[in-house]
Structure 1
Amino acid sequence: MWELGNYARIADLITDLGRDLVNAAGVRPGQRVLDVATGTGNAAVPAARASARVTALDLCPELLDAGRRAAGDLPIEWVEGDATKLPYADGEFDVVLSAVGAMFAADQSATAAELVRVCRPGGLVALANWTPDGGVGRFFDLLGRYQAERPVGPPPTRWGDPEQVRALFDGRPVETEHRTLEYGFTGTPAELAALYRSSFPPVIATRAALDGDGARAAFDRDLVDLLAAENEGPPGGPGRWRFAWLLVRVRV
């Protein structure tokens, strides 16, 4: 699914999320850092700018190519791989990161175990996850109402619930902190909805599976209405969206 559209355009709107995650993880020069489900490198790039030795891993080669282009000359190793079966030895990294990436892996328990496994004893797993009760959670609820077949298993926003994410890491010391991201978009709700329809893979996949123009038109109206309700900007613009996320730090 993530090869649909142009996710890089959406990733550009949340670049502050990766920077904030890297800062919260205290990434230092020389550390070995793995960014899991990196997408276009929203956490890998600021980690490399902090002079860490960075590996960026994702399932989607198109996103990795976009990340390489955006990173320019930064010394990042870009690797195609699966968050549920990381191709690394136990304890290979000092810091393991994921900015709203690993939360979308199909097997949540396997992913959590792999994030911990490849982090050295005394290291840190640090995650930025969308919350179930924030604007992004409501967005995915809307997608779910229009999906004929609901995904099997818990939703990705399980990773944004403090109690549930503690359960995923099975007794390890977990620190959580609620934070807010200022979205990098100032257009109208209709313009943001149009961007999602053209570029955001889950929206493209949901619309493509709908039966007929009437169903797609209804989905489009509901998407604009949701984004209008979430808009905190003044009447007439500019638009302003702030989305809740959960910072998760797991001491290994």
Structure 2
Amino acid sequence: MIRFEGVSYSYPDGHKVLDEIDLQIEEGTFTAITGDNGSGKSTLVRHMSGLLTPSKGTVSVCGMNTLDPSNLRKVRQLVGMVFQDPHSQAVGATVEEDVAFGPENLALEREEIRDRVFSSVLDVGMGGFEERLLMNLSGGQLQKTAIAGILAMRSEYLVFDEITSMLDHDSRSMMLDLVKKLNHMGKTVVYVTHHLEEVLAADRAIVMEGGSVAIDGSPANVFRELYSSGHSIPPLMELAIRLKDTGILENNVLPATVDELMEDLCRSM
């Protein structure tokens, strides 16, 4: 479990970015975090791996306080992060070199490193790309390579910070499918996005506002609360909520696609 207790964070100039966050991420769950720019999303998740530590309060990962420097190595093995720009994480010339970098730093045996690289690239759909130069990969392939790198570290908590923001629609869809697959494999997923339709893939949605948790619940309930408070939500979600309110749509889970909405309507007739 990742636990935030009374966590606040301020920059050296005194600007507060997080304000009294109480939050816990249960093992095996898929949590989506959204909110406007500057709401504190990225600052929040950087605390999960100890890249940032609280100005006030505590963050613990599997009982290890991130304020204790002796815990950080283990915390960063348990919590793997993939960032918006995959180039910022690239450390090798080829896919194999890049994925192997983390396990090599753990001083593992060469055979163990090879096994981890092989299984990780397969898990992300990059089998056969081991010798491919990173400079020749697409944005989506670079993101997959970064994900393979944290899988090779045997990270149990996977934190994705706006990883689809630089991808086209098709690549975004494929990346989200991969994230869902990893969650189904048992990995705990924390997924930061400003694409509201992607929130529907999660079990739980958190909306950040002004450094605080404004809304926390199931995606359906979060979208309903956003809609009722006058916030803009994807048209498909708005239509589904209106259909539910009129009794036409009976499914409690909001549809993620037009096809799903049509299927729900057929079942409700």
TM-score of the superposed pair, with normalisation by structure 1: 0.31
If you compute each CA radius of gyration, which structure gives the higher value, 1 or 2? 2
